[in-house]
Amino acid sequence: MLKGKIASEGHAVGKALCLEKETLSAEKESCENPKTCIKDFHDALDRSEKDLRSLRSKTAETLDEDHAEIFDAHLEMLRDVEIKGQVENMIENDSVQAAYAYEKVTNQYIDMFQEMEDEYFRARAADIADIQQRVLGYLLGKPVKDLSLLEDETIVVARDLTPSDTAGLDLNKVKGFVTEIGGRTSHTAIIARALGIPAVVGAKDALQNVKDGQTLYLDATTGEIHIDPNENLLQGAKKKATKEEKRKAALKKFADKPTKTKDDRSLPLFANLGSLKELVALKENGAEGVGLFRTEFLFMDTDSMPSRDEQVEAYRKVFETIQPVIVRTLDIGGDKELPYLTQDKEENPFLGHRAIRLTLEQKDLFKTQLQALLIAAKNQDDVRIMFPMVATTEELKAAKRVLAESADSLEDEGVDYQKNIKVGIMIEIPSAALNANELAKQCDFFSIGTNDLIQYTFAADRMNEKVAYLYRPYDPVLLRLIKTVIEGAHKEGIEVGVCGEIAGDLNAALLLAGMGIDELSMSPASVLEIRSALSEVTSNDLESLAKKALANAEIDEVEKLLEAFRKEHL
């Protein structure tokens, strides 16, 4: 049995799929029978083509035809007659294995495209590299594992999962996640909670102890991972899963109700949205809006920069589904990279060139996104644009200038757009929290991003399991910092919400409600439980709880206070 930290609660049983990432490369080995080696090469191409066609079909089904067309380009490259001919000639003339020949030939094309000045052609280098790894996988007996092409109910086991790893998930087959690193705010944890998938992170040496195809029972209520469990354990898992389903079904009665306390105070519960796939869960769980629309998915699910028209189409799908929507502009950097955007390697990427710092420099990229948002929102009543990782008033002013320039460009083009857009910022850096009073004078709203605010307040990398103990959502130091933001916002007459992961934690949600927060945004799966809890308490109950918590000096005392409050009221 393995043990880790609970990232998304629940129970899951499935076959293990171990994702061990490595860049494949072939040794130079001789080929005694060129005809056989060429046949191996053709077989690898055929199998790769089958994969790409399946991926295309799945993408067209789950997203749209435009996104599916990416794989048309990959199929053309896969069957490129020049590359194919050069590989066959090298096998015959140099008597080398197909894998070595294919890698050498495709590397030449990758280098050639990377050196081109045109951004479109430079992006094609990444396409060829992706295809190369797929073909090499078959030639070397290490085929690429696609999370969108699963046959069995699966529990994914990995060192970590990046946004691009999870972009193509087959949600009907993936039942759970296990990662060796990460904490409650890692990408794996966030996506698991958004999708309602059980997950355990920080399970050391999971890849060494688990083999592909083994049956796993993932108990994400205790953090335990059972390998090849016996029948008693499996039966127990099924009973627990059934009980959980009944509990969730009982909460469905709150899906169509507004969020109100026992004494009728409104506190809207919004949902965080990371992809178009999550729109269904958002609606099913009765979210009253989108408090954090993470636009990165649109940029990370493609091999080239999405055009303005492509962005408009994607944003419009969200805006036409639900209102209000708070859109975070592109937040790249830290643990999120774009393959077609050259970024220098940094010693401390979470403290480096990311989010608003990057987009203010990449002004064309920034303007294209802002124009797309303004166009997509032209017929909508309540779309709000939010800038991430603002540290100073100067950064906020600079971002607002780019927004104004973007609107002026649309005016010059004669393109219709939304002229009455609300503008806000994420408060996720202590300097911004402490300067909330001044920043509020230049904003229409705040949204507190607690994932990074906790990381920067306690100087603890939220991806490092060794310092996960410093993820302290109930720490009085953090609570007082949040209270400073709320007071600064309300003094200037603007609303303030929380879109970090603690908004979906019931204990933290109760505290935040008592501190005077105006809205909470969370994973869709958390909405109904928190709405149910709030309906059982009064505003006075919550305010009294928050006042006592803020007066404490120790986190242990706050946790005891929360435990006693829930026993008495819930």
CA distances in angstroms from 270 to 293, 294, 434, 483, listed in the order given:
10, 13, 25, 20
**How far apart are the C-alpha atoms of 152 and 174, rounded to whole Å?**
8
Contact 456, 467 (CB under 8 A): no
- What residues contact residue 24 under an 8 Å CB cut-off, 6+ apart? 133, 136, 137, 140, 142
Of 237, 216, 229, 197, residue with least CA distance to 157: 216
Pairing relationship of beta strands 11-19 and 519-522 according to DSSP bridges: unpaired
Residue 42 is a catalytic residue: no
SS3 of 140-156: the string is CCCCCCCCCCCCCCEEE
**How far apart are the C-alpha atoms of 220 and 90, rounded to whole Å?**
52
**How far apart are the C-alpha atoms of 98 and 76, rounded to whole Å?**
20
**How far apart are the C-alpha atoms of 371 and 374, rounded to whole Å?**
5
Most distant pair of Cα atoms in the chain: their distance: 84
Of 55, 76, 78, residue with least CA distance to 67: 55
- What residues contact residue 140 under an 8 Å CB cut-off, 6+ apart? 24, 26, 99
Contact 452, 502 (CB under 8 A): no
Among residues 18, 31, 187, 443, the one annotated as catalytic is: 187
**How far apart are the C-alpha atoms of 485 and 482, rounded to whole Å?**
5
Q: If DSSP codes are grouped into helix, strand and coil, which group holds residue 285?
A: coil
Pairing relationship of beta strands 224-227 and 269-273 according to DSSP bridges: unpaired
Task: Write the DSSP assignment of 63-86 as a string of letters.
Answer: S-HHHHHHHHHHHHHHT-HHHHHH
Of 320, 331, 324, residue with least CA distance to 269: 324
Residue 499 is a catalytic residue: yes
Burial per residue of 370-387, b for 16 or more beta-carbon CB atoms within 10 angstroms, e otherwise: bbbbbbbbbebeebbbbb
Contact 234, 241 (CB under 8 A): no
Of 503, 506, 480, residue with least CA distance to 565: 506
Instruction: Please report where in the chains the tokens 């202590």 appear, as a residue.
Output: 430
Among residues 18, 31, 37, 499, the one annotated as catalytic is: 499
Query: Which tokens hold the place of 306?
Result: 């999405």
Alpha-helical (H) ranges within 173-295 are 187-195, 206-209, 231-251, 279-284
CA distances in angstroms from 81 to 88, 123, 404, 557, listed in the order given:
10, 21, 49, 70
Active-site positions read 187, 499
